Structure 1
């Protein structure tokens, strides 16, 4: 798995966990979540509307939950959620929410 390195993430990820669905996709070689996680930690919220982007930007400053959505393929979207206290970042599929 290739990993893109950031010099400094915008916020701590805490423990990084994933749902069974994401784990299954990784095990089958269907997705590499590293670039999406790096984008999330860099404040690139992915495929969100402007209002949701602003909500994340505000949450980054105020210490609220952060949410990103990435359209990996036309049939595959990955969500990434970092909890308000930055203790856990979860990678999941929308139908696992």
Structure 2
């Protein structure tokens, strides 16, 4: 799946990958992951507690830890996005696939 060009990301995504569950939702037209990926790359960490958001902000500055976002898409559907500490890979996944 080709993702649209992202405007002004705060960090590099590296290689973009998605799990089978996310891919299935995308293929069925049940999920457009691009807006959530844009939010993640812009430093909008979604539905995290303040401590987790602060940890992400610190990791963004230090470059020494991975970045994690969580987005509640529906009452029974959540999308997680994780960028590895070295910014080499960003994975879109469902919590059940972690």
Report if TM-score (shorter chain) is over 0.5.
yes
- Cα root mean square deviation, aligned: 1.6
1:86 CA displacement:
0.3
Question: Could you list the runs of 5+ residues in structure 2 that have no partner in the other structure?
Answer: none
* Alignment length (residue pairs): 96
* Distance (whole Å) between structure 1 residues aligned to residue 23 and residue 72 of structure 2: 17
For normalisation by structure 1, the TM-score amounts to: 0.94
Q: Say if 1:2 and 1:16 are closer, same or farther in 2 by CA, change over 3 A.
A: closer
Q: How does 1:71-86 map to 2 (within 5 A)?
A: 71-86=72-87
State yes or no: 1:69 paired with 2:74.
Answer: no
With the length of structure 2 as denominator, give the TM-score of the two structures: 0.93
Alignment of 1:33-52 (within 5 A): 33-52=33-52
Per-residue deviation at 1:9? 0.6
